[in-house]
Amino acid sequence: MSGIADVARLAGVSKSTASRALTGGGYVSDSTRRRVADAAESLGYVPSTSAVSLATGRTRTIALIVPKVNRWYFGSIVEGVERTLIPLGYDVTLYVAEPGSDDRETLYSTYLARKRFDGIIAAALEPDDADLERLANIGKPVVSIGNPLTGVPTLGLDNVAITRNITEHLIALGHTDIAFVGSTPSTDAPAKDVDERSIGYRNTMNDHGLAVRIRSVPATLTITDAYAAAVSFLADTATRPTGVVAACDEVAIGVIIAARRMGISVPTELSVVGIDGHDYAEMFSLTTVEQFPEAQGVEATRLLLSMIEGTSQPPWRTPAETRLVVRASTAPPRPV
């Protein structure tokens, strides 16, 4: 429990000199710098973070906001952020709150207001206008992953292009009866990734004069949700599509598991394509557009740190890397 005063006393210098020696600011001769360092070492001195924060205004903490932890995409982001920040000695305070939950209000009224961080990384945050203003008012740098927030540098995918790409992939294989499994955007202004993906699919189908069919699954987009939905919408052979564009890999996998269970052969009777590059994609031979959320977490952290240091203002929108991987879940439709 020794403080900097103890270190200073042991080294035979003043508090201010000890502080300068340890933090590296201002003039200190090499010999005293070493004496102070030795004293700190031998006392096992660890600076009090609250005192440092109070004096400097910096917390060496970044806030990470995610709607959920227990999904591959968000879990990967968390791991990417952690991996980058731990070696730098930064703390990560995690805030888990789904849009619309009670915790969401607490987020803005308590957690963000408290400003116990130097910057914020927000994944899939869906703030309304009032929230966005509160976010801007706290005066700390913010980086968004996933959906673009006005005035906030965002790292994300070009979702419309991606679903266009994979829808074209199915069409090129000869499919005409293609469903999008996800959700219908509530408004024309897409607020979420899923909305953009739905729109990319819809536009492509329209361009080709093909019928748009949307199968809804709950917004959580988990494998189990998609499985349950697929068990019901695959049952009717009359309305069953030959191709499925899934909102994400977890939905795609849920559909595949349901199909297998119902004896529907993938890809012979049903082609499925996802988006994510989920850990399980290869195991299910899933054709998918890979993205790399852990790398996105790393990249978002770098962007945020550069804003905190004030060295640079990142671009308003940074595209994240993707890659189409064709596996064995897509094939031409069986001739009628």
Instruction: List residues binding DNA (CB under 7 A).
Output: 1, 3-5, 12-17, 19-20, 22-23, 25-32, 45-48, 51-52, 54-56
Write out the binding residues for a copy of itself, residues 235-264 only, by CB under 8 A. Answer: 254, 257, 260
Site residue total, a copy of itself (CB under 8 A): 52
In the chain, the N- to C-terminal Cα span, in Å, equals 79
Nearer to DNA, 29 or 101 (CB): 29
Coil, strand or helix at 319: strand
Q: Does 133 bind a copy of itself (CB under 8 A)?
A: no
Q: Shortest approach of a copy of itself to residue 254 CB, angstroms?
A: 8
Alpha-carbon span 244 to 213, nearest angstrom: 10
Minimum separation from the CB atom of position 15 to DNA (A)? 5
Q: Which does 148 bind (CB under 5 to 8 A by kind): DNA, a copy of itself, none?
A: none
Residue from 166, 153, 159, 216 nearest 186 by CA: 216
Of the two residues 189 and 283, which places its CB atom closer to a copy of itself in the complex?
283
Q: Are 234 and 207 in contact (CB under 8 A)?
A: no
Could you tell me the smallest distance in angstroms from the CB atom of residue 1 to a copy of itself?
9
Instruction: By CB under 8 A, name the one of 3, 32, 37, 75 that touches a copy of itself.
Output: 75
- Measured in degrees and rounded to the nearest 5, phi and psi for residue 109 equal -75, -30
Nearest to 182 by CA among 239, 237, 270, 255: 255
Count of C-beta atoms within a 10 Å radius of residue 253: 26
Using the rule CB under 8 A, give the single segment among 104-112, 173-181, 193-201, 207-215 that binds a copy of itself: 104-112
Region of 21-29, 102-110, 167-175, 187-195 interacting with a copy of itself (CB under 8 A): 102-110
149 makes contact, choosing from a copy of itself, DNA, none, with CB < 5 to 8 Å by partner type, with: none
- Least distance (Å) between residue 190 CB and a copy of itself: 27
Give the whole-angstrom CA distance, residue 163 versus residue 246: 9
- Give the phi and the psi of residue 113 in degrees, each rounded to 5: -60, -30
Q: Is 213 in the site for a copy of itself (CB under 8 A)?
A: no
Task: Give the C-alpha separation, 199 to 197, whole Å.
Answer: 5
The DSSP secondary-structure symbol of 154 reads E
83 binds a copy of itself per the rule CB under 8 A: yes
Query: CA 329: distance to chain centroid?
Result: 26
Cα–Cα distance measured from residue 4 to residue 9, given in angstroms and rounded to the nearest whole number: 9
- Residue 312 CB coordination number (10 Å): 9
User: Min. distance of Cβ 8 from DNA in angstroms?
Assistant: 7
Stretch that binds a copy of itself, among 58-66, 152-160, 266-274, 318-326 (CB under 8 A): 58-66
Instruction: Report the sign of the C-alpha dihedral through residues 184, 130, 146, 219, in that order.
Output: negative
Interior angle at CA 267, CA 266 and CA 272, nearest 5: 85
Residue 143 CB, shortest distance to DNA, in Å, is 25
97 interacts with, out of a copy of itself, DNA, none, CB within 5 to 8 A per kind:
a copy of itself
Q: In the chain, what are the helix, strand and coil shares in percent, each to the nearest 5? A: 45, 15, 40
Supply 48's token pair: 């009090």
Determine if 108 is a binding residue for a copy of itself (CB under 8 A).
Answer: no
Under the binding rule (CB under 8 A), the answer on residue 114 touching a copy of itself is yes
Q: Which residues bind a copy of itself (CB under 8 A)?
A: 46, 48-51, 53-54, 59, 61, 64, 68-70, 72, 75-76, 78-79, 82-83, 86-87, 89, 91-97, 102-103, 106-107, 110-111, 113-116, 222-224, 227, 254, 257, 260, 279-280, 282-284
